[in-house]
Amino acid sequence: MRKRDIVLKISQDTGIKQVVVKDVVQRTLNAIFDSLKAGTRIELRNFGVFMIKKRKKRIGRNPKTGAVVPVPERLTVVFKPGLEMKKIFK
């Protein structure tokens, strides 16, 4: 499912114009991005939690040559599903 599909579904269900729904969806995503950039944990009840996790530096291996490659530490976004989502996909 793409963002466009979400906009169409919400627009059809609510009767609100697609342009307005697209703006609201984009602003929601922007708020999530901005919060994650600031290091804030985002909790959406019954859906899940988005948070930033620091990955430690490690030694990797190039699969083609077998050479040892250092992988630097980095930040990544992690999603932990909420209770309702866990029940559905259990």
Q: In what order do the strands lie in the sheet with 42-44?
A: 42-44, 48-55, 74-81
**What pTM value is reported for the model?**
0.77
Q: Is CATH 4.10.520.10 what the domain over 41-90 is classified as, yes or no?
A: yes
Count the Cβ atoms, other than its own, within 10 Å of residue 24: 13
- pLDDT (tens place) for every residue of the chain, 90 residues total: 999 999 999 999 999 999 999 999 999 999 999 999 999 999 998 899 999 999 999 999 999 999 999 999 999 999 999 988 888 887
